[in-house]
């Protein structure tokens, strides 16, 4: 079964719509819809959007999950237990009222994908938009990452972010200007790691070697390798870089 077909099937089931009802809304045959949901017919993202929109859905401006994000990142079958649980909770909380509201929204097309959407409810617990910050910690982009047990790369999901390398100071360590590094919280230097440090002139990346007597050697390597020795109490460590992403 295709992932886009899964999305359509889940939304159709949530709204208690038959194949014929959805097909009539979308202007397609019910056989076409059955083939899409079963994975026998592959459709494009735009076509899937039109079908979801015909059922009364619009993209949620805050969650900003695209169908491409979902289809490429999540195995929807693994999300089924949460989807079933959400569906049962909706029923227990007064599903008749919600069904009536959804029927009105179907006609107006006013419903947005949000807390009432089964698949977004399920995915909100397994996906997170991780911000990408520049040297002055302004968000310039984001990446969609999976969450495992509330954590990303072993750290609390709400504490991780990407930092965009502002220069070529670590080119000798294969980090170029514009590359992004996933940062997890850290307060002290970690030997052999690339660390994000806060300085009076902004945030910088440095390769760190821990020395005796609570000292650290900070390395930069552009045309040549340069280093300086700092006491721990002279450093403001923001985080440790655990992943590098670069464009080819």
Distance separating alpha carbons of residues 119 and 14, to the nearest angstrom: 10
What CATH number does the domain containing 236 carry? Answer: 2.10.109.10
pLDDT value for 139: 94
Residues 113, 7 within the same domain: yes
Residues 51, 77 within the same domain: yes
Does 17 or 162 have the greater pLDDT score?
A: 162
Distance separating alpha carbons of residues 169 and 26, to the nearest angstrom: 55
Q: What is the pLDDT of residues 136-156, one digit of tens each?
A: 999 999 988 888 888 999 999
Residues 117, 142 within the same domain: no
**CA distances (Å), 181 to each of 60, 134, 166, in order?**
28, 11, 11
Q: Which of 71-75, 86-90, 97-101, 162-166 is predicted with the least confidence, judged by mean pLDDT?
A: 71-75
Residues 239, 152 within the same domain: yes
Could you write out the three-class secondary structure of 88-106?
Answer: HHHHHCCHHHHHHHHHHHH
Residues 105, 185 within the same domain: no
Residues 229, 141 within the same domain: yes
Q: Can you give the pTM of this predicted structure?
A: 0.57
Q: Do 33 and 19 meet the contact criterion of CB atoms below 8 Å apart?
A: yes
Residues 200, 225 within the same domain: yes
Residues 9, 95 within the same domain: yes
Q: Which of 4-8, 80-84, 188-192, 195-199 is predicted with the least confidence, judged by mean pLDDT?
A: 80-84
Distance separating alpha carbons of residues 93 and 98, to the nearest angstrom: 9
Distance separating alpha carbons of residues 220 and 216, to the nearest angstrom: 13
Distance separating alpha carbons of residues 226 and 222, to the nearest angstrom: 8
Distance separating alpha carbons of residues 160 and 52, to the nearest angstrom: 32
Mean pLDDT of 224-235: 94
Q: Which of 13-27, 44-58, 141-155, 163-177 is predicted with the least confidence, judged by mean pLDDT?
A: 44-58
Residues 164, 238 within the same domain: yes
Taking Cα atoms as reference points, which of 160, 167, 165, 168 lies closest to residue 179? 165
Domain end position, chosen among 100, 123, 146:
123
pLDDT value for 190: 94
Residues 137, 30 within the same domain: no
Distance separating alpha carbons of residues 53 and 34, to the nearest angstrom: 18
Q: How far, in whole angstroms, is CA 76 from its chain's centroid?
A: 15
Q: Count of domains in the chain?
A: 2
Domain end position, chosen among 94, 123, 152:
123
Residues 166, 83 within the same domain: no
What CATH number does the domain containing 70 carry? Answer: 1.10.260
Domain end position, chosen among 66, 100, 123:
123
Distance separating alpha carbons of residues 189 and 202, to the nearest angstrom: 18
Domain carrying residue 33: 3-123
Residues 7, 118 within the same domain: yes
């Amino acid at each position: 079964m295709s992932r886009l077909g899964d999305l359509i099937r889940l939304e159709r089931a949530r709204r208690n719509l038959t194949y014929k009802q959805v097909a009539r809304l979308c202007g397609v045959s019910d056989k076409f819809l059955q083939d899409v949901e079963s994975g026998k017919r592959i459709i494009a993202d735009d076509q899937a959007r039109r079908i979801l929109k015909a059922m009364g859905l619009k993209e949620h401006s805050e969650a900003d999950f695209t169908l491409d994000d979902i289809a490429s990142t999540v195995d929807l079958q693994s999300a089924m237990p949460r989807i079933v649980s959400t569906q049962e909770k909706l029923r227990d909380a007064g599903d008749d009222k919600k069904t009536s509201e959804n029927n009105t929204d179907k006609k107006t097309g006013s419903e947005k994908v949000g807390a009432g959407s089964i698949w977004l409810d399920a995915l909100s617990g397994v996906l997170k938009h991780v911000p990408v910050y520049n040297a002055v910690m302004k968000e310039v982009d984001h990446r969609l990452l999976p969450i495992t047990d509330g954590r990303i790369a072993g750290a609390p999901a709400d504490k991780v972010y990407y930092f965009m390398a502002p220069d070529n100071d670590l080119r000798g360590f294969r980090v170029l200007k514009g590359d992004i590094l996933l940062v997890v919280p850290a307060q002290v230097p970690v030997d052999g790691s690339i660390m994000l440090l806060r300085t009076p002139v902004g945030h910088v990346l440095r390769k760190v070697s821990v020395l005796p007597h609570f000292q650290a050697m900070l390395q930069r390597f552009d045309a040549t390798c340069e280093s300086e020795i700092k006491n721990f109490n002279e450093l403001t460590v923001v985080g440790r870089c655990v992943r590098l992403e670069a464009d080819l």
